[in-house]
Amino acid sequence: MSRSALANPLPLFDAPVLRQDILADILSFAGEGRATILRLQDGIPYFFNEFWTARQRQGHSLHEVSYRACFKAQLPEFFIARLTKPGDAVHDPFMGRGTTPVQAALMGRRPVGNDINPLSILLARPRFRPPTVADVAARLRTIPWQSGQPGPADLHAFYHPETLSHLMALREWLLERAPLERADPDPVDDWIRMVAINRLSGHSPGFFSGRSMPPNQAVSVKSQERINAKLGLSPPKRDVASVIVKKTRTLLADGVPPLHPPALLLAGPAAKTAMIDDGSVALVVTSPPFLDIVQYAADNWLRCWFAGIDIAAVEIAMHKDEATWTAMVHETLAEQARLLRSGGHVAFEVGEVRGGKVLLEKLVWEAAAGLPFERLGVLINDQQFTKTANCWGVSNNSAGTNTNRIVLLRRL
């Protein structure tokens, strides 16, 4: 949402209104040398500042796993540092690539995460106990690369025939050694699968494919064929093992997580996480699907195929109107109220959609009404640019997500 959407802001509140420590901390924040601005719109307090950097690749290297519509690690870091202590459980019911639980592990907290798509577990779990580069390289040498089948013919739009054959050998090897139903696979196998999933399609020699769209999604076969025709290129041969080792080095550049409580990762609806005990979570940091803006199933079809996930069987909901989206958020927040301890917090990020015409934070504010939460306000992490928008040829401050918009709630 642009600044103009908050027309006629009120002056700064008087200090006595700010009774909560987290609000006082937010108001006094000056990390980028700017004072926080507090405004009121439709009865909702808005806090404006650049609370974390908009610059790229400022987080830990373990976060460099691409995924569509994910927030920066600095977002959960901001709240984890202020609202939890080491050993506390930090949860994300829509964990995606696992940014919140991975950041929780990096800060010595207990990682707790859930997503409707089991792909999220495959992306998050290996990063809690990473192997060494040497272990990965040694394991890759044991794979029978020459045993691979030709693979689906339509995937030749993405891969050189030899590369696809090697990917087929790796896929079959992983499905046998680390099937999806195995909750505790070998850490090296788990890691190799995670990196391979992350390298399936992209725009540089660091990926298995020829030149494709940005690496946070996979286009359709027909779209890839059009890309190839437009560029006049055929997919080049890639060394699958070398690509995995190279990406492993990059991910481990900043080291591994410290000792932390064991992770709890679930695959299912965000409103049905019965395996998480009542009152066991200190903080929830999450970002739900934004209406029907992102096509998560379509974006991840290639990753799910490689992992052996039947994406058609995964009930990824698409909310085309505000009423059904608000109802989903209400159900999700009701579940967070169950698992949060007294005084625990929810940081519910919604970004901005449809050119700022739909203010999702107001829908979240409405969805929280009647639940055992104190609605504290909305943080606006005011950024000057958005890499995602630029990738898609969208002018800054006209579309895409230009700001993080986080509804902050406290469990009564």
pLDDT, residue 317, reads 75
Q: How many CB atoms lie within 10 A of CB 295?
A: 14
* DSSP string computed for 275-317: TSPTT-EEEEEE----TTSS-HHHHTHHHHHHHT--GGGS---
Tens of pLDDT, residue by residue over 333-358, are 999 999 999 999 999 999 777 666 77
Distance CA 74, CA 361 (A): 20
pLDDT, residue 354, reads 62
Domain boundaries, given as residue ranges, for the chain: 1-51, 59-130+261-294+314-346+396-412, 131-251
Q: Which residues pair with 411 in a beta bridge?
A: 373
Tens of pLDDT, residue by residue over 140-195, are 999 999 999 999 999 999 999 999 999 999 999 999 999 999 999 999 999 999 99
Q: Give percent of the chain above pLDDT 90.
A: 75
Q: Enumerate residues 6+ apart whose C-beta is below 8 A from 183.
A: none
Least trusted range by pLDDT, from 209-223, 277-291, 353-367, 375-389:
375-389
Q: Enumerate residues 6+ apart whose C-beta is below 8 A from 85.
A: 282
Q: What is the CATH number of domain 59-130+261-294+314-346+396-412?
A: 3.40.50.150
